[in-house]
Amino acid sequence: MNKPATDAPEFTVVDSAVMVKVFYAFAVVALLSVAISVAGKWLGRSIAMGGYSDDTKVYEVVIGNNVLAMPANVIRFDKARRDGVTDRLDLYLRYPKMDGYSVPARDDFNNARGKRTVLFLTFEEQAMSRDMSGRYAPIYSSLIVQPGKPGPGSTTLYDFAEKSGYLNETLAVAERPGQAPFVARCLAGASAEQSLAPCERDVLVGERLSLTYRFPKEFLADWPALDAAVLGFAARTLKTGATLKK
């Protein structure tokens, strides 16, 4: 017997509220896809740059009563690439050009060829009354072991006394007629080999501003040119309180 002609397929009625939820779900997925795409492009450039920036936009950074005009590509950390007040500014520069990061300089900043050429600089408010040269006579001279031994660039290298607190460090000293000596502390042994910039020197610049710079030990061979380059960079970038202290 045939089925009545009135029989028809059954349809399930979907609640409109469910359809709205499905629509929003698809919309969220679409927005996430766009966001991931944009973020992927941004992160791709960020990863390729390795945290560096080749942007040469100049920022005005204020430390105490000093204004420093710094291109973005010499500022080490992304969060510091801005105008405004801070208590510390960390930089890196390629020596002897004293320039910042750029694509042509990428290998130098990544130490790709094994030749260390980068200086690390820190500007911060002065914490001590004397810089490293000024501390030699009243402090360092009583902490080192005499006699020293000849070092590069007419420096004399001194070991620190065992109880000085400066473990695995040496002191490089070079006399300067009419001035306090050039003085730098350098890591010794395995620590020095592993560091890109095992030597450190600080100088007073501007108005109650301290500049510490770290450098490869081989740069001691021409320390007068190195010190002059760093002080020259400070003079060019300090826009107030810019008189260097001798």
DSSP 64: T
Q: What pLDDT, on the 0 to 100 scale, is given for residue 61?
A: 98
Check: CB of residue 148 under 8 Å from CB of residue 162: no
Spatial separation of the C-alpha atoms in residues 233 and 95, rounded to whole Å: 11
pLDDT band at 42 (very low <50, low <70, confident <90, very high): very low
Specify the amino acid at residue 34. V
Q: What pLDDT, on the 0 to 100 scale, is given for residue 16?
A: 54
User: Is the pLDDT assigned to residue 14 strictly greater than 90?
Assistant: no
**C-beta atoms surrounding 212 within 10 Å:** 16
Check: CB of residue 219 under 8 Å from CB of residue 225: no
Q: What is the pTM of this model?
A: 0.78
| Structure token pair of residue 215 | 């450098």
- Range of weakest confidence among 25-39, 60-74, 90-104, 133-147: 25-39
User: Is the pLDDT assigned to residue 241 strictly greater than 80?
Assistant: no
Spatial separation of the C-alpha atoms in residues 14 and 21, rounded to whole Å: 12
The mean pLDDT value for 216-243 works out to 91
Parallel, antiparallel, or unpaired: how do β-strands 58-63 and 84-85 relate?
Answer: parallel
Specify the amino acid at residue 107. D
Q: Using alpha carbons only, what angle is made at residue 166 by residues 160 and 168, rounded to the nearest 5 degrees?
A: 80
pLDDT band at 113 (very low <50, low <70, confident <90, very high): confident
Q: What pLDDT, on the 0 to 100 scale, is given for residue 17?
A: 54
